[in-house]
Amino acid sequence: MKRFTKMILTALLGVSLAACSTSSASSAPAASDDNSAPASSENASSDKVYNVGIVQLVQHVALDASAQGFQDELTAQLGEGNVVFDYQNAAGDSATCNTIVSGFVTENVDLMLAIATPALQAAANGTASIPVLGTAITEYGTALSIDDFNGTVGTNVSGTSDLAPLDQQAAMFDELLPDAAKIGIIYCSAEANSKYQAEVVQKKLEENGKTVSVYTFTDSNDVQAVTQRAVSENDALYIPTDNTAASNTGLIDAVASEANVPIICGEEGIMSGCGIATLSIDYYELGKTTGAMAAKILKGEANVSEMPIEYYQNPVKEYDAQRCEALGITVPSEYKAVERP
């Protein structure tokens, strides 16, 4: 009897231990189960916090607006709290863009936004795996040295362009300054996209019967001297979307205003600082378009290598009423007056 009782107790103890073992296994899955059975895509999407690095060449109203539009749109699409931005400005130094990008690569951010051409070049050279989107880039083929560019980079790079129709910008000289026969084009020789715009506009102006001279500055130190020479030799000037010029509009304006030489510009920010008119885009809206592209990439809805460059579709003719009035320029009705910031 004692032996029989002992056998029963031993069996019951074995059942109890097995139950305890089963309970522990169900409440704490093995590590291999965690790796092989990820959460549902819906939960992963809602719980994921994306890290996005933003490298901007220089502080300027147009570039700042594109950055804000990007952040607003990406936050709206991914949800408040689901995206963290590391927004860094290179203060106009291309070498600093490289340093910023290196930091983003070390952090292994989920995506980079590069604002302005030197920032894009730094990002494209800095990583071949992290998705890179550019904005405020005029021509990607020129920026990335791609021959016969077809509209899609085909690597980890895509983005948006701030290129307004250059032939229409050239035509503004006949619309606003029909008596201006000699046109000077000024830009920074270190900015490839400025050179591209200058060449296209020069060709269009010459086709329209203008005599065109090109003047370049290497950095902010010789902007004044180059501008003084240009205004002394021409009836009017053209400035493309150029970051160095954008950072020195006050200086350019002082020289041109004293000489009563009007300037037509490639974008609104430069025009507000020193010009009479522009055919410009909305940089905030351009940033939003870039943010929508980023959302598709991060949500797995698009492959950056297959995304074509997107363009702003509705450029607007704008003018500075104060400068036009001071110079006695009659502005056609389709131009929109823009208040200075």
Span 292-313, pLDDT tens digits:
999 999 999 999 999 999 999 8
Whether 34 shows a pLDDT value over 60: the answer reads no
What pLDDT score was predicted for residue 22? 34
- Do the strands 277-280 and 316-319 form a parallel or antiparallel pair, or are they unpaired? antiparallel
Task: Give the pair of three-digit tokens for residue 76.
Answer: 């709206």
- Of the candidates 284, 237, 279, 280, the one whose C-alpha atom is nearest the C-alpha of residue 261 is 237
What pLDDT score was predicted for residue 46? 56
Answer whether 0.85 is exceeded by the pTM: no
What pLDDT score was predicted for residue 234? 98
What pLDDT score was predicted for residue 331? 97
* Band (211; pLDDT cuts 50, 70, 90): very high
What pLDDT score was predicted for residue 14? 41
- Of the candidates 140, 159, 133, the one whose C-alpha atom is nearest the C-alpha of residue 55 is 133
Average pLDDT score, the chain? 88
Greater confidence (34 vs 268) lies with 268
- Of the candidates 327, 304, 336, 296, the one whose C-alpha atom is nearest the C-alpha of residue 50 is 296
CB 91 within 8 A of CB 33: no
CB 123 within 8 A of CB 100: no
**């001297």: which residue's tokens?**
225
Map the chain to HEC letters: CHHHHHHHHHHHHHHHHHHHHHHHHHHCCCHHHHHHCCCCHHHHHHHCCEEEEEEECCCCHHHHHHHHHHHHHHHHHHCCCCEEEEEEECCCCHHHHHHHHHHHHHHCCCEEEEECHHHHHHHHHHCCCCCEEEEEECCHHHHCCCCCCCCCCCCCEEEEECCCCHHHHHHHHHHHCCCCCEEEEEEECCCHHHHHHHHHHHHHHHHCCCEEEEEEECCHHHHHHHHHHHHHHCCEEEECCCHHHHCCHHHHHHHHHHHCCCEEECCHHHHHHHCCEEEECCHHHHHHHHHHHHHHHHCCCCCHHHCCCEECCCCEEEECHHHHHHCCCCCCCCCEECCCC
CB 142 within 8 A of CB 193: yes
Whether 132 shows a pLDDT value over 60: the answer reads yes
Q: How far apart are CA 193 and CA 187, in angstroms?
A: 10
**Which sign does the torsion angle of CA 127, 288, 341, 87 carry?**
negative
Q: Which are the contacts of 152, defined by CB distance < 8 A and separation ≥ 6?
A: 158, 306, 307, 308, 309
CB 307 within 8 A of CB 238: no
CB 239 within 8 A of CB 266: yes
Helix axes 117-126, 94-107, angle to 10 degrees: 40
For 79-93, how does the pLDDT look when each residue is reduced to its tens digit (9 = 90+)? 999 999 999 999 999
What pLDDT score was predicted for residue 114? 98
